Structure 1
Amino acid sequence: MSFIYKVIDHVQLAAPENSEETAREFYSGILGFTEIDKPASLKKNGGVWFQAGGIQVHIGIEYPFVPARKAHPAFRVGNMADLKTYLGEKGAEYREDDRLPGAKRFYMTDPFGNRLEFLEWEK
């Protein structure tokens, strides 16, 4: 092969119509992502985009909407304990999971029912 895979550019999650403000409240207000501008050619589709470090999450409007309950992005984090403290201060709920050897992880859902995983690999 003469090509290589580098990184995932972004993850797209679906949301119901007119849910952009709810997405902002969760992804910026709770998770701490920064909203980024969508290209003008895509704004007519609705939705909203966010970024934290090199991670982008695009929230797209889907008709009819069905949340992703099994398929999910997994965000690798540093200082998981600090993230849990931060989320606790925001009143966010998450579910611990110890089934992946060598990792600390938890799951939560966004306001639309999409599953999100957060993990930190042990050294």
Structure 2
Amino acid sequence: MFIIKIVTITGKEFELDIENSDTVEKIKERLEEKEGIPPAQQCIIYSGKQLKDDKKTVKDYGIKSGVVLHLVLALRGGNYISEKGFYNFNKATQSGKNGFHSSARFILME
């Protein structure tokens, strides 16, 4: 058994005791107990990559003692947005860019 750190999108940090044989699914169940977020709405990021396969174990992903996992919400839905629907931030003022940056967080997932 060893300890890993979990960091939420809000910056909250806590530790979990896990074993090499624990699956991603089991970790999500424990996170639901701790944070109240259903596993289907959880997205766990390790070393910049999403842990997509709930059946894989901690050992499969190479997770070791002391690592940090990031817990974010898995957003669903949406619609196609044409290229015209994207905002060009190159034209924004610096204060506009700073305001946007401070109010949003993005995670790129494959």
TM range (shorter): under 0.3
Larger relative contact order (C-alpha < 8 A, sep ≥ 6)?
2
What TM-score comes out, normalization by structure 1 length? 0.24
What TM-score comes out, normalization by structure 2 length? 0.25
Q: Which has the higher helix share?
A: 2
